Structure 1
Amino acid sequence: MKRIRKFFSEAISELRKVAWPTSGQIRVLTVLVFVASLVVGIYITFWDLLFTEVLKLINPA
């Protein structure tokens, strides 16, 4: 039981040392992730459509 108590005590101690982001930073980083995901999605979609059309030209079914 002492080991469990020590573990949680040390975990809480370490969490107090963490430099937590502000709500403004969280908002900005969240928007950045959404924008980056959208850009990557558009990039992949473009190449997928291009290769699909090229394959249709090579092998019309």
Structure 2
Amino acid sequence: MEKKVEQTYEIIEVCLLAGKIMLQSGAETYRVEDTMVRIAAAFGLGKTHSYVTPTVIIFSAEGMEP
């Protein structure tokens, strides 16, 4: 179980890094949100949510215990 949680955190980190790179490159916030959710889905994370502004990226996955 712990390995699955660690893997999920790594997927979230990848999504956040992709979002950060896109924002720094001038991408629109809606594209950043969509891309992050699609990356997570490609890795098997189904229920994710993202909120992006020019200065903030918030990303979450449902069903995760801290």
TM > 0.5: no
Does 1 or 2 have the higher relative contact order (CA < 8 Å, sep 6+)?
A: 2
The structure whose residues are more often strand, as a share, is 2
Rg comparison, structure with higher value: 1
Q: Using structure 2 for the length normalisation, give the TM-score.
A: 0.39
- Give me the TM-score of the superposition, normalised by structure 1: 0.42
Richer in helix (by share): 1
